[in-house]
Amino acid sequence: MSDKQPAPGRFARVRAAQLEYNNRRAAGYREQALKLFPWLCGRCAREFDRRNLSELTVHHVDHNHDNNPGDGSNWELLCLYCHDEEHSKFEHLVRYGDTSDGARKPATHNPFAGLRAKLEAQDPGRED
């Protein structure tokens, strides 16, 4: 360990940035998204106003709700129905292993791993 301290103020700045980030998140990405984008569904183009705005939801394009860049690049405004649809599609991709990013692919499990060793243990002299 070095005894050199970080430049004064560095920790405070990092801390402030962290707090700001937390505050921004607490303020809600939905509010931010509604400021950034026109109030319409990105799929069916249904338009919204203050009366039915609760039916307009923020979808995370990469499905990671922790990924909330301030420029809105990971958000998409979708109506409840299209949002539902979007998630069913994603569930399907995850379940049937068709995701292109591969990040969510389940670990491959080989049910036959160790089977040969087991057979050989049972019947050491056998050859086929």
Binding site for Zn ion (CB under 5 A): 41, 43-44, 59, 79, 82
CB of 60 to Zn ion, least distance (A): 5
Closest CB to Zn ion among 44 and 53? Answer: 44
Say how far apart CA 109 and CA 70 lie, in whole Å.
Answer: 39
Q: Which is nearer to Zn ion, 100 or 108 (CB)?
A: 100
- 53, 55, 61, 63 alpha-carbon torsion, rounded to 10°: 130
Q: How far is the CB of 90 from Zn ion (least distance, A)?
A: 8
Residue partners of 53: CB distance under 8 A and separation at least 6:
34, 39
Q: Which is nearer to Zn ion, 45 or 121 (CB)?
A: 45
Considering the complex, state which of residue 13 and residue 89 has its C-beta at the smaller distance from Zn ion. 89
Instruction: Tell me the closest approach of the beta carbon of residue 34 to Zn ion, in angstroms.
Output: 15
CA pair distance 16, 7, nearest whole angstrom: 15
Report, in Å, the least distance between residue 108 CB and Zn ion: 27
Q: CA-to-CA distance for 13 and 21, rounded, in angstroms? A: 12
